[in-house]
Chains A and B, each alone.
Chain A
Amino acid sequence: MIIRRPPDIPSSEITPESVYVNRRKFIKAAAAGAAGFALGPSALYGAEQSQEIPPRFARLQSELDEPLNSYGDVTTYNNFYEFGTAKDDPHRNSGDFQPEPWTVSIGGECNKPGEYHLEDLLSGVTLEDRVYRLRCVEAWSMVIPWYGFQLSSLINRVEPTGNARYIRFETVVRPEEMPGQRAPILNWPYVEGLRMDEAMHPLTILATGVYGMDLPNQNGAPLRLVVPWKYGFKGVKSIVRIDFVQDMPLNTWKRQNANEYGFYANVNPNVSHPRWSQARERRLPSLFKNFDTMMFNGYTEQVQSLYAGMDLERWK
């Protein structure tokens, strides 16, 4: 798989300055809040990991107020029911998964539908680090340095028509490689969606990596969605199909239990999940659930205009 890999130089020198400036802004947005907390490189790796973390992350770490979760945290604690429902199942059970070669079928209301090879999709985009908070609907959270590109650049390339009001994503179905899919735990394939303006927002990315390296299978290799102001389940993994549609897609968790999971799923400390409060979260690896959850996961300034006039208690 051909993915442009940045050498170990600051990303300001390899991405257009406008993107870089934006990136810095996002990092600041990610970093609002907690006190400074610099960690040495060893803390980044996690106990059992022998991965070579690019040195730029040690530097990045020192700039952040909210420390990055270690590579080990990010890659051993996952919700990816296709590989099992326990948090370490994806890490344990995803060894047989083949993320390459990979094609994405793009269709629906757009002028350039087709089967796109991943290499082809990546050739026209700028890959960069994006540090985002990840807030799971289960009230735990992490800070993750994704590597990827803005979804908007892909959308612009395939030219959605005026009828495209939503974008719908599907995860691959391969029960032979994904043991969780052998039981009807969820209605496979996993489906997620966004309104077009959410999909076009500069914070919304398709990630191909984490810590500057290819996504491990358990994190949704080779291509996954990241929408940092929404609960983590919106981040559909191992995407094989993208459709532009007129009607709001029925996303998997809403289909599973509409009382508990909505389409918008914006992080909102004021609207509790029926079974637990969303006011606080456990910022892993902390033991205590004492981190105050922020409206839109701390990205209010960037995204609140998307929801002007909407009753966020109703549109969960």
Chain B
Amino acid sequence: MSTKKTVLALKTGLWVAALSPAAWLTRGVVQGELGPNPIETLTRVTGLTALTLLLVTLTVTPFRRATGWNPVIKLRRPLGLFAFFYAVSHFSIWFVFDMVFNLGYMIEDIAERKYITIGMAAFLVLIPLAVTSTRGWIRRLGRKWATLHKGAYLATALAVVHYFWVVKADTRLPLLLGLCLAVLLMIRLPAFAPGRRSSRSVGKGVEDDVDAEGVRVG
């Protein structure tokens, strides 16, 4: 298969997989199958999907390095944007149905409840990443773009803590997701270490700075 065809197949698979939770929720709402409290289900599934997609997004680069299989990098941007789509949905459901459009309630909750504070922080970190995900912004930001987009790790870490704090008793799933993040961070530790720039100048790690469309940056 040509690279183009491979990428097309990968992207098609991604769209189907990433939209399936949304499709499942939509069907449940339309058919009234989400039970007496559909908002709880909508909130939980959109949040969990956002977090899962963030973790998958962070897996792309280490996966490419380990396998040397380059087409997969084309999935990084759409994965991140799908994660953002679910994060926006998660936030909007909370604002509309829990906060009932009331800014006062919202500010009080953000200020007084630490799991909301940290969840909101995760959301705020994601916004500039989504905005600067375009080719134009990648070009404009140059070297800073890669640094800025390390924020995906921060957002994911905040989201894991948010999830851990909202669970009442059974913390197994948030702990598992936290473990996944820890492993990803350890794999990528060299990317955060000082002195990495000099290593890149001799040609290592340059794939980090290739955006989803293959544009080389910096």
Verify if B91 is at the interface (C-beta below 8 Å from A).
Answer: no
A85: which B residues are within 8 A, CB to CB?
A: 168-170
Bound CA–CA A283/B35 (angstroms): 14
Let me know if A277 and B97 touch, CB within 8 A.
Answer: no
Q: Is the interface of B mostly helix, strand, loop or mixed?
A: helix
Which residue of A has the minimal Cβ distance to B38? A287
Which one of B60-68, B107-115, B189-197, B200-208 contacts A? B107-115
Separation in Å of the A180 CB from the closest CB of chain B? 9
Separation in Å of the B181 CB from the closest CB of chain A? 22
Verify if A140 is at the interface (C-beta below 8 Å from B).
Answer: yes
Which residue of A has the minimal Cβ distance to B96? A288
Given known contacts A277-B109, A287-B97, A288-B100, A282 and B169 CB-to-CB distance under 8 angstroms: no
Residue-wise, chain A 267-290 has the 8 Å CB interface mask toward B (1 for contact) of 000001011110010101101111
How many residues belonging to B are interface residues under a CB distance threshold of 8 Å?
24
Which residue of A has the minimal Cβ distance to B40? A87
Let me know if A285 and B37 touch, CB within 8 A.
Answer: yes
A69: which B residues are within 8 A, CB to CB?
A: 36
Q: Which of A81-98 contact B (CB under 8 A)?
A: 81, 85, 87-88
Given known contacts A272-B112, A276-B113, A285 and B98 CB-to-CB distance under 8 angstroms: no
Q: Which of A186, A275, A280, A290 contacts B169 (CB 8 A)?
A: A186
Which one of A72-80, A101-109, A116-124, A157-165 contacts B? A72-80
Let me know if A282 and B112 touch, CB within 8 A.
Answer: no
Verify if A256 is at the interface (C-beta below 8 Å from B).
Answer: yes
How many residues belonging to A are interface residues under a CB distance threshold of 8 Å?
31
Verify if B32 is at the interface (C-beta below 8 Å from A).
Answer: yes
Bound CA–CA A142/B115 (angstroms): 26
Q: Which of A70, A81, A285, A288 contacts B97 (CB 8 A)?
A: A288
Which residue of A has the minimal Cβ distance to B44? A86
Q: Which of A88, A138, A275 contacts B35 (CB 8 A)?
A: A88
Verify if B215 is at the interface (C-beta below 8 Å from A).
Answer: no
Which residue of B has the minimal Cβ distance to A186? B169
A138: which B residues are within 8 A, CB to CB?
A: 168
Let me know if A289 and B40 touch, CB within 8 A.
Answer: no
Let me know if B36 and A289 touch, CB within 8 A.
Answer: no
A287: which B residues are within 8 A, CB to CB?
A: 38-39, 97
In order of increasing CB-CB distance, the 4 nearest A-B pairs are: A73-B36, A77-B36, A284-B36, A185-B170
Name 11 interchain pairs, CB-CB below 8 A, sorted by A.
A69-B36, A70-B36, A76-B35, A85-B168, A185-B170, A256-B169, A276-B113, A277-B109, A282-B98, A288-B100, A290-B100
